[in-house]
């Protein structure tokens, strides 16, 4: 215990202050596995928590399903699904997301960090443009892993889906439609996700720096910046998401035109023909509702892991 009259020296004051950790860029000594772990945790949290809204979005966007249900809104859809099919239906297919999101997001964030570092200026600073470009590159790599899992997920989300589990769904799609069915939507997914992630990463970097100029660890900043970035990106890319959903669920359709669609242009023509301009914005509300908290959760989880890793490395 210090003496009451003891003078606090500058050294003692500094010793009592909390240690600040610069976590924005993980230390050079941090192995790639740290990015992978942080990214995997962020991806699983992001997709799992808001999964019921993803089911609503898929069902509102599907075209030509023999058992389509018209939902008047998000609340109505959740009420109808839970009362007629049971609450468990709102989580049907979630294991496909968990299995795919872990490795896909791990690769995603690792690629993002490495690309962002390469695109940084001579002073090591990252611009919003560089962050957006890094997000686009990361998307190409991660979507190659995630696309088959996304197809399985959407097939299991449909009304009247009879698959016993994700393995049965994967085997059935492979047997009836071949390997191509898992990747027919990949080009469209990239056309959607590259701008989505570029917008999201660019906006997140801009919002984060605006809300927290000193760059210190701030969970509230990450939640707000992530949520806003996710909402903007989701709203702007909904039309392409509608085309992607048509391609990924075409095998469950009774419409020959839908079943034979094989590109974004074809899917866009079908949507316009059958539903008009409004068809490109079906599911926009649940998509935004799902992406706001999901993106906030993803970024907050990822930034937390970065902060913990940086703090550990500093102590060592």
- Residue 147 is predicted with a pLDDT of 94
124 located within any domain = yes
127 located within any domain = yes
Residue entry with tokens 């962002």: 116
What backbone phi and psi angles, to 5 degrees, belong to 121?
-75, 180
277 located within any domain = yes
Gyration radius from the chain CA atoms: 22
- Residue 31 is predicted with a pLDDT of 59
Encode pLDDT of 172-215 as tens digits.
999 999 999 999 999 999 999 888 878 888 899 899 999 998 88
Query: Between 64 and 171, where is the model more confident?
Result: 171
**Cβ(189)–Cβ(262) below 8 Å:** no
- Kindly provide the b/e burial profile for residues 176-205, where b requires at least 16 CB atoms within 10 angstroms of the residue's own CB: eeeeebbebbbebbbbbbbbbbbbbbbbbb
pTM above 0.75, yes or no: no
What backbone phi and psi angles, to 5 degrees, belong to 124?
85, 10
Q: Which of 67-71, 230-234, 300-304 has the highest mean pLDDT?
A: 230-234
Domain residues for the domain of 170 are 32-315
Say how far residue 267 (Cα) sits from the centre of its chain. 23
11 located within any domain = no
The total domain count for the chain is 1
Residue 315 has pLDDT above 70, yes or no: no
| SS3 assignment, position 220 | helix
Residue 97 has pLDDT above 60, yes or no: yes
How would you write 262-276 as a 3-class SS string? CCHHHHHHHHHHHHC
Residue 51 has pLDDT above 70, yes or no: yes
- Residue 63 is predicted with a pLDDT of 78
**Cβ(101)–Cβ(44) below 8 Å:** yes
Query: Between 311 and 60, where is the model more confident?
Result: 60
24 located within any domain = no
CB atoms within 10 A of CB 13: 9
- Residue 300 is predicted with a pLDDT of 86
Q: In terms of Cα–Cα distance, which of 277, 199, 242 is closest to 64?
A: 242
In a 13 Å sphere around the CA of 66, the CA atoms on its Cβ side amount to 8
9 located within any domain = no
3 located within any domain = no
Instruction: Give the mean pLDDT of 115-138.
Output: 80
For residue 305, what is the domain's CATH number? Answer: 1.50.40.10
285 located within any domain = yes
């Amino acid at each position: 215990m210090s003496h009451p009259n003891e003078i606090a020296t500058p050294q003692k004051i500094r010793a009592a202050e909390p240690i600040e950790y610069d976590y924005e860029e993980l230390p050079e000594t941090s192995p790639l596995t740290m990015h992978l772990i942080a990214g995997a945790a962020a991806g699983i949290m992001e997709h799992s928590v808001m999964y019921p809204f993803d089911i609503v979005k898929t069902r509102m966007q599907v075209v030509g399903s023999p058992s389509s249900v018209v939902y008047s809104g998000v609340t109505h859809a959740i009420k109808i699904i839970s009362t007629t099919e049971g609450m468990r239906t709102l989580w049907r297919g979630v294991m496909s997301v968990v299995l795919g999101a872990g490795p896909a997001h791990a690769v995603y964030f690792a690629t993002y960090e490495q690309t962002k570092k390469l695109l940084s200026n001579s002073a090591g600073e990252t611009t919003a443009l560089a962050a957006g470009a890094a997000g686009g590159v990361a998307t190409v790599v991660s979507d190659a892993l995630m696309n088959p899992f996304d197809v399985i997920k959407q097939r299991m989300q449909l009304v009247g889906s009879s698959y016993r589990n994700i393995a049965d769904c994967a085997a059935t799609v492979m047997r009836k439609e071949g390997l191509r069915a898992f990747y027919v939507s990949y080009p469209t997914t990239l056309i959607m996700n590259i701008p989505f992630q570029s917008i999201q990463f660019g906006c997140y970097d801009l919002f984060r720096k605006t809300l927290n100029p000193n760059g210190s660890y701030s969970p509230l900043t990450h939640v707000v910046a992530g949520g806003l970035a996710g909402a903007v990106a989701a709203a702007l890319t909904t039309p392409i998401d509608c085309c992607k959903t048509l391609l990924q669920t075409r095998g469950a359709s009774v419409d020959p035109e839908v079943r034979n669609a094989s590109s974004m242009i074809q899917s866009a023509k079908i949507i316009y023909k059958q539903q008009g301009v409004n068809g490109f914005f079906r599911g926009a509300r649940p998509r935004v509702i799902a992406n706001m908290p999901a993106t906030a959760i993803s970024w907050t989880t990822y930034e937390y892991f970065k902060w913990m890793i940086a703090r550990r490395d500093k102590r060592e």
